[in-house]
Every structure is written in C-alpha cells, then in structure tokens.
Amino acid sequence: MGTFNSSSDKPFFLVGFSDWPHLELVFFVIISIFYSLTLFGNTAIIALSRLDLRLQTPMYFFLSHLSFLDLCYTTSTVPQLLINLHGLDRTISYGRCIAQLLIFLALASTECVLLGVMAFDRYAAVCRPLHYTTIMHPQLCQALAISSWVGGLVNSLIQTGLMMVMPLCGHRLNHFFCEMPIFLKLACEETKRTEAKMFVARTIVLVFPATLILGSYAHIARAVLKIKSTAGRRKAFGTCGSHILVVSLFYGSAIYTYLQPTHTYSESEGKFVALFYTIVTPMLNPLIYTLRNKDVKGALWKVLGRGTDSG
C-alpha cells in the first residue's frame, strides 16, 4: 500500500487497451488518422483566422483559441496513447503523470469556460446585432479569452492539489492516460471530504458555463422565431447550429465522466468515452465549424490561390 505523494520513485502502469489486444492495431491506425486530421484542421483554422481579414471578428477570435486549445488538449494524451498501443512502453513516471493530469484538467476546464464565452458571443450577434461590435469590443474579447485560460488553470491546480494528498493503493491505472476518476477509484481510504471539494470544483467549471450556454440559446431561439423570413431563420440557426453541436458532443461526454459518483464509474466504459472527448471531438470541431461556413471556405480557397478577393 502506497500513497500518491510518497511513491514518486515508482512509475504507474497504464493498462490502456491491452485487455483487447486484437483491437490495439485497429485503434493505433484510426487514432493516428484522427490525430493527423486534428493537427491539420485546427492549425488551418488558426492560420486562416490570421491571414484573412474577413475572419478577424470576435467569433473567429474565439474559434482560433478553441482550435489552439484542441491542439494542446489532444496532444496532452494522444502521443502517450499511441506509444501504449504500440506496446513500446506502458509505464509513466510519477512526474509525467502529475504533469499530464494537471495539463489535461487545465485544458479541459478552459474549454468548458471558452464554450460558454462563445455562446455569449453568439447571443450578442443574434439578439443584439445593432450593438454587437460595441458589446464584443477587442478589449472584452481579450479579457474573456484570458479569463477562460486562467479559470481553467486555477481549477486544475485545485483538483490536482487535492488529488496529490489522497492515499492510493497500487500503481496500476486502468486507463490510457492519467485521468482523475481513475485515481479516485484507487483511493485506499475514505475520501468523501476530498471528493466533495473536487465535485464542487467540477460542478462550477461544468454546470455554470452549461447554464450560460442554455440561457444564451434560449434567448437566441426566441429571437430567431421572431424573424419573419425563412431565409433569415435558416441563416441564424446555421450560425449557431455548429456551436450547439460542439457543446453537445463535449459536455455530454464530460458530464458523464466527471459528474457521476465514483462508485458507479466504469473504468472500461470510461476509456471509450475518454476516446470520444480527447480524440473525436477535437477532430470534429474544425469540420463542424467549416463545412457549411462560406467565410472559412472562401478564405481557404483564397489562401490556396483558387479564390478571388471579392465577396
């Protein structure tokens, strides 16, 4: 029996998907493809938002932050997973495990807050179109973006600090990266107080932004229904539909993992759910935001030399 803060000399063993050896090669190929698409798609959005003047608006400012966030977010887990699937090394040192936990929680928490900020931006664009540029001025956009990053880091520091003082039994982590619910399952003794504090922190970073998102889209739906023309309604819903889809994908999987009681958490199911919000969602984000977005597609063709300077 050891404790998390007294066994820094012994590495953790990441089980990964070794329980399904016949799936490891398939996972390795699929995840490699998804990771490559994530890197390409999110890098493209960041580059386009900087190169094309039409994309230098609050919406694309926040979207470029989301893309950079997703690049870091998926990179914090996927390389380790690919090494694990290849069977080269299934261990991770104490220091690397702490760093991965801290970074992953910070990035995931930041994305929760940032998605709430993006919902407020869409609310201002749809419900206050005449005052949009006044409301979402550059200084406010910068402040909201910085607040998202700082809030995510603070939440991560709190939860990681609480985790480090919890006594753990064993060094076998039934996951493909160092994630908080797995450590809670390894706790040696009663940790209700610590878990209660961590639950409050998770609730704040998940529920508050989700409430803001729901409130924003309730106002947006009400405003859109007042639009008389069908074309106007379609355009308004199209503007916000991509964000709603991103929010549903991310929050659905995050809430399943982080807001359920520890004793009901399934490690096997948790690994597959984690694949969704660490790999699939970051890969889908660029596609969701650009497939039906004429501005982004126009900027891409322009950069590739196939578009025109008009429109």
pLDDT of residue 235: 66
- Give the pair of three-digit tokens for residue 265: 């958490």
Residue 148 buriedness (CB in 10 A; 0-12 / 13-18 / 19+):
buried
Distance of CA 112 to the CA centre of its chain: 7
pLDDT of residue 120: 92
Q: DSSP character for 11?
A: P
What does pLDDT average to in each consecutive run of 10 residues of the chain (311 residues)?
A: 52 86 89 94 88 82 92 92 82 89 94 91 88 91 95 92 81 87 79 79 86 88 78 68 76 83 78 87 82 68 58 42
Short-list 271, 110, 282, CA closest to 178: 271
Q: How far apart are CA 117 and CA 208, in angstroms?
A: 11
pLDDT of residue 1: 41
Q: How far apart are CA 201 and CA 203, in angstroms?
A: 5
pLDDT of residue 220: 85
pLDDT of residue 310: 44
pLDDT of residue 144: 95
For the stretch 164-173, pLDDT in tens is 887 777 788 8
Q: What is the pTM of this model?
A: 0.86
What is the helix (H) or strand (E) element at residue 172, kind and residue range?
strand 172-173
pLDDT of residue 136: 93
pLDDT of residue 238: 66
